[in-house]
Amino acid sequence: MQTGLRGRDLITLQEWTRDEIDTVMEVALDLKRRRALGELHPLLRDKVLAMLFFFSSTRTRASFEAGMAQLGGHAQFIEAETTQIAHGDTAKEIGEILGRYNDGIAIRQVDWGVGNGYIREVAEASRVPVLNMQCDVYHPFQILADLLTIIEKKGDPRGLTINVSYAYAASYQKPLSVPQSLILLMTRYGMNVRLTHPPEFRLMPDIVAQAEANAKASRGSFEILTDFDAGFEGADVVYPKSWGSMLTTSDKAESARIGAKYQDWICDERRMALAKEDAIYMHCLPADRNVEVADAVIDGPHSVVYDEAENRLHAQKAVMALTM
């Protein structure tokens, strides 16, 4: 248990130690237990979290707002387009000013090539912790919820095989942040991590290199596959989701044309049958139903997506309670 996290930013879990992440898991489980028992836990009474959104959300806004209320504080919803941020407020000014008004700043900015840099610039100017609600590179709170879910459903992650796979979706160029954060954190926990994707949908080379180093240090494994079915074979955890081809093209129409070649990359019952009998299906949501995943899978016995979504609340409360 680590006790010195007050004031810490959470922009990527790569900047937190294993002991610190284990502490988040311990506190998250404790807060989850307290909520289940109806025990009040106003650990952040009278504290205010500024939540700055450049990109719409469902689970992120709802879970952070609910979490702050349950911790006895208040979440302040700020939409970039409806504030002076759209007319000149700089990242430095946001860090300086919101850091004086509030006890924490949470930001969701996923614009490719912009988001992570913006969050770091705010953090540099802020006197209070800055929390990354998702950027173009990382999604730390989703992956904390994912780790918590794997621990609850499968026990010690060490030695388990997780398939982090691309899946087709026609909706939009989804960020790389979920698969990148998944391969970074799960390799730190000694899992056998498979990254499965078509050639055009590769991840950032420095992220892949860090995942390889993490796997070596934890005595897990990391491999990259290009065969969709092969990624499922014998897996304990499957996490197929769409992401964009940002490292191949910046043209959205070209990306859509590339993606259309992989419309058969859908997680259906046949693919789930390739995994272990007790494998779990995970997705950060929203999923493109019957495009990324068949209804029979996401609504079936292997799916843990709603428990996974709930764990966003508990993991986020743990980090807020520890840092704010």
Summarised one tens digit per residue, pLDDT across range 139-183 is 999 999 999 999 999 999 999 999 999 999 987 689 999 999 999
Residue 5 covered by a domain: no
Query: The domain that contains 27 carries what CATH number?
Result: 3.40.50.1370
Q: Could you tell me if 131 and 161 lie in one domain?
A: no
Rounded to whole angstroms, the Cα distance separating 191 from 176 reads 20
Residue 1 covered by a domain: no
pLDDT per position as a tens digit, 91-150? 999 999 999 999 999 999 999 999 999 999 999 999 999 999 999 999 999 999 999 999
Nearest to 300 by CA among 268, 257, 260, 256: 268
Residue 3 covered by a domain: no
Structure confidence at residue 319 (pLDDT):
99
Structure confidence at residue 148 (pLDDT):
99
Measured in whole angstroms, the distance separating CA 98 from the mean position of its chain's CA atoms is 24
Q: Residues 6 or more apart from 20 whose CB is under 8 A from it?
A: 2, 5
Residue 171 covered by a domain: yes
Q: Could you tell me if 120 and 153 lie in one domain?
A: no
Q: Could you tell me if 129 and 152 lie in one domain?
A: no
Looking at the predicted structure, is the pLDDT value of residue 33 above 80? yes
Looking at the predicted structure, is the pLDDT value of residue 253 above 90? no
| Out of 26-35, 163-172, 311-320, least confident range | 163-172
Q: Could you tell me if 107 and 204 lie in one domain?
A: no
Residue 148 covered by a domain: yes
Structure confidence at residue 56 (pLDDT):
87
User: How many domains would you assign to the chain?
Assistant: 2
Q: Could you tell me if 134 and 79 lie in one domain?
A: yes
| Out of 50-64, 167-181, 223-237, least confident range | 167-181
Q: Could you tell me if 176 and 298 lie in one domain?
A: yes
Looking at the predicted structure, is the pLDDT value of residue 299 above 80? yes
Q: Which domain holds residue 229?
A: 142-308
Q: Could you tell me if 133 and 148 lie in one domain?
A: no
Rounded to whole angstroms, the Cα distance separating 185 from 20 reads 13
Structure confidence at residue 173 (pLDDT):
85
Q: Could you tell me if 294 and 156 lie in one domain?
A: yes
- CA distances 192 to 65, 69, 232, 271, 304, Å, are 35, 38, 13, 19, 20
Predicted structure pTM score? 0.97
Question: Given the structure tokens 């997780």, which residue do they identify?
Answer: 162
Q: Could you tell me if 205 and 231 lie in one domain?
A: yes
Contact yes or no for 266/293 (Cβ under 8 A): yes
Contact yes or no for 182/146 (Cβ under 8 A): yes
Structure confidence at residue 170 (pLDDT):
84
